Amino acid sequence: MLQQRFVVHEHHGRHLHYDFRLEMNGVLRSWAVPKEPSQKLGVRRLAVQVEDHPLEYIDFEGTISEGQSGAGTVRIWDWGTYTLEKAEPNELLFVLHGKKLQGPFALVRMENRAQDWLLLKRKTR
C-alpha cells in the first residue's frame, strides 16, 4: 500500500485548534479540529473540512500576519506517514505512523452536514 504524508498543525488563531492534513491527489486535504486529536478509542473529535492546501504547507511553521486568512502562530504538533485503507465520499480509513498519533483512525462525514466530520481512533484489527 502507498504511504503518504500527514501533518497536524497546532494553530493559535482566533481560537486554538489543530489543522489535520492528509496528502492526497497532489494536495493536503485539510480539517480544522477544535480539540487536540486523541489516541484513545471512543473519543470523537469534530473535524470541519476546510479548503485544500498546497503540499508545500506540510512543513510550515511560523506566524501568519494579521489581516490574512488564518492569522496567528502555527507549529507542527505531529507528522509522519499514513497508509490509506479506504476512501469513500463520506468515510476515510487510514493508519497513521506519526510521532504522537499512531494506529488506525477514521474520518467519517456527519449525516446531512457537508463540512462536518468526526476524527476518531479505530480498533486494531
C-alpha span between 31 and 26 (Å, rounded): 16
Q: Reply yes or no on whether the pLDDT at 106 is more than 90.
A: yes
The number of C-alpha atoms within 13 Å of 35 and in the hemisphere containing its C-beta is 9
Q: Is 20 left (phi over 0), alpha (psi -120 to 50) or beta?
A: beta
The candidate with the shortest Cα–Cα distance to 78, out of 3, 7, 5, 4, is 7
Q: Which domain holds residue 94?
A: 3-121
Q: Reply yes or no on whether the pLDDT at 1 is more than 60.
A: no
C-alpha span between 30 and 8 (Å, rounded): 9
Question: Quick one: average pLDDT of 5-29?
Answer: 94
Instruction: Summarize pLDDT for 53-102 with one digit per residue, the tens.
Output: 999 999 999 877 676 666 788 999 999 999 999 999 999 999 999 999 99
Q: Between 35 and 112, where is the model more confident?
A: 35
Q: Rg of the chain over CA atoms, in angstroms?
A: 14
The candidate with the shortest Cα–Cα distance to 1, out of 95, 74, 98, is 95
Residue 106 backbone phi and psi in degrees, to 5: -140, 150
Structural element, H or E, at residue 87: strand 72-88
Query: How crowded is residue 68: how many other Cβ atoms within 10 Å of its Cβ?
Result: 8
* The total number of structural domains that make up the chain: 1
